[in-house]
A and B are shown apart, each in its own frame.
Chain A
Amino acid sequence: AQTVTQSQPEMSVQEAETVTLSCTYDTSESNYYLFWYKQPPSRQMILVIRQEAYKQQNATENRFSVNFQKAAKSFSLKISDSQLGDTAMYFCATLYNAGNMLTFGGGTRLMVKP
């Protein structure tokens, strides 16, 4: 079975500072996708960033970037210049072509403090 682990249940960061959320996963697949989703208090799941495993270059989306270490099976999310609107639950997830099933981590609750 595929597993995704987020070792930080809760984190906090001051506004405008940088924070990194950790994620590790376990798989024997060679081709897969990795995602970070944000779930604000509205509970709408919002895609933050996506990474294809076959791409060595780390994905970036404005203030959000990832550190993808394929050999270590690590996929951390860095949020730069944190904003109050970044306060949310963040879920790391993997998607394997073979199963087409998304596997979620347990989530990290991020609080951005003014």
Chain B
Amino acid sequence: GAVVSQHPSWVICKSGTSVKIECRSLDFQATTMFWYRQFPKQSLMLMATSNEGSKATYEQGVEKDKFLINHASLTLSTLTVTSAHPEDSSFYICSALVNRERDYGYTFGSGTRLTVV
């Protein structure tokens, strides 16, 4: 099946610094990737949709200047949390749309646990 590799799996950073999270599609081209945030014991909350070669579309309430998304190639999308604060601590998950008949749907990265201290 289609695989998305997400790194790092966990990161601890100091307040005010920036953190970059990468998601790579390994065996397919991901023209569309989605970034989610998940709080403990809650569902996934869509933050933004990124399309290769164009600007990301952010959901209402998500600060685009804080959560920078770049989708420069068909296999790589990155989320940069800028000037991180403790309230940004969360679990971030990327997902890519697999547009193949045999396995149409979403595949997910393994997630990144961000802790801001």
Contacts and interface: CB of A to CB of B under 8 A. Distances in A.
Interface of A: 33, 35, 37, 42-45, 47, 50, 89, 91, 93, 95, 100-102, 104-107, 109
B104 to A, nearest CB: 7
B42 A102 contact: no
Nearest to B49: A101
Contact of A45 (B32, B46, B95): B95
B43 A106 contact: yes
Given A33-B104, A35-B105, A43-B111, A102 B43 contact: no
B58 interface: no
Nearest to B32: A100
B70 interface: no
Contacts of A95: 105-106
B108 interface: yes
Contacts of A45: 44, 93, 95, 108, 111
By Cβ-Cβ distance, the 9 closest A-B pairs, closest first, are A45-B108, A104-B43, A44-B110, A43-B111, A106-B43, A107-B43, A104-B44, A102-B106, A100-B97
B107 interface: yes
Given A102-B34, A102-B95, A91 B43 contact: yes
A47 B105 contact: yes
B28 interface: no
Contacts of B46: 101-102
A110 B4 CA distance: 26
